[in-house]
Amino acid sequence: MSKINHIAIIMDGNGRWAESRCRPRIWGHVRGAAQISDVVEAADHFGIKALTLFAFSTENWCRPKEEVSSLFTLLRKYIERERQKIIRNKIRFRVIGDIFGLPEKTRDLILDLEEKTRLSTGLKLNFAFDYGGRSEIINSVNKFIHQSPGQLISESDLYENLYLVDSGDVDLLIRTGGDCRISNFLLWQMAYAELYFTKTKWPEFSTEEFRKIYYEVSLRQRRFGGIDTPLDLVSNLVEAKAHKASMQHKVE
């Protein structure tokens, strides 16, 4: 069994789910938002360390105004509704992305819940909102240049300046809705993620399906460039570096 510490989900298919029922797309988002709580609870029961949910991308700004503002409202309502439960279950809540484009009230709610759960030791729940993987990487590089002018950036420097410093690499990415792409989500963290695409649209994604995917992917053999099952990506990279150094030493 390979260890899954961090699951990322692209919650896609709300609009098509509603349209196929002759309903407005926004209704699909409302039904989709209602699914989140059960999925978070299931992830908490799996005992994983982090769950990152893609709720609004930097590219989603090009949707009609009413749809964008309904997504903002749903984020606010989710936080208002789940706030106590998140605190009670010791979930560490974070929003990654540019929250400064959000209405002040929502921003304040986010900052308050982030602060209240800062020291929570349970599941790390990250909402990616107005998030783009490329912006995250550019941001990280710029932060590094600012702190260490004239220096060359390393992989660990880049990682340490990302929005998500303590959730680690993504082990499993699930995308609902039937499309097989990653749409600018967690580009750096997903370098060695197992990918799982399901045709189920997000409003119909059940905890049973989530559990099935989790167990199925836990059985996959992850090699991280090696030839047998290593413990994790980090230990494999350490081994790879040591091996490279010893080979170079022999050549010299």
Active site residues: 12, 60
Residues that bind ligand IPE (CB under 6 A): 10-16, 54-57, 59-60, 71, 177, 179, 181, 183
Q: Residue 166 Cβ, how far from Mg ion at the closest point, in Å?
A: 29
Q: Does 57 bind Mg ion (CB under 5 A)?
A: no
Q: Which does 204 bind (CB under 5 to 8 A by kind): Mg ion, ligand IPE, none?
A: none
Which residue blocks in the chain are alpha helix, DSSP H? 14-19, 25-46, 65-88, 104-116, 133-147, 155-160, 207-218, 233-251
Whole-number Å distance between alpha carbons of 106 and 181: 30
User: Closer CB to ligand IPE, residue 201 or residue 222?
Assistant: 201
Residues sharing a CB contact under 8 Å with residue 68, sequence separation 6 or more, in sequence order: 60, 61
Q: Which does 39 bind (CB under 5 to 8 A by kind): Mg ion, ligand IPE, none?
A: none
From residue 12, alpha-carbon distances to 123, 172, 187, 233 in Å are 23, 16, 17, 28
Sheet holding 124-131, edge to edge: 92-96, 124-131, 50-57, 6-10, 172-175, 194-197
Q: Residue 43 Cβ, how far from Mg ion at the closest point, in Å?
A: 22
- Per the listing, tokens 């097989």 go with 180
User: Closer CB to ligand IPE, residue 36 or residue 71?
Assistant: 71
From residue 89, alpha-carbon distances to 45, 48, 108, 110, 124 in Å are 11, 14, 21, 17, 11
Q: Residue 55 Cβ, how far from Mg ion at the closest point, in Å?
A: 12
Per CB under 5 A, which of residues 6..35 are in contact with Mg ion? 12
Q: Residue 172 Cβ, how far from ligand IPE at the closest point, in Å?
A: 16
Note whether 33 and 74 are within 8 A (CB).
yes
Whole-number Å distance between alpha carbons of 127 and 122: 16
CB atoms < 10 A from the CB of 163, how many?
Answer: 20
Give the binding range for Mg ion (CB under 5 A) out of 4-12, 44-52, 193-201, 227-235. 4-12
From residue 52, alpha-carbon distances to 6, 96, 97, 166 in Å are 8, 9, 12, 12
User: Closer CB to ligand IPE, residue 11 or residue 174?
Assistant: 11
Note whether 18 and 31 are within 8 A (CB).
yes
Q: Residue 177 Cβ, how far from Mg ion at the closest point, in Å?
A: 6
User: Closer CB to ligand IPE, residue 118 or residue 181?
Assistant: 181
User: Closer CB to Mg ion, residue 119 or residue 180?
Assistant: 180
Q: Which does 83 bind (CB under 5 to 8 A by kind): ligand IPE, Mg ion, none?
A: none
Give me the residues that bind Mg ion (CB under 5 A), please: 12
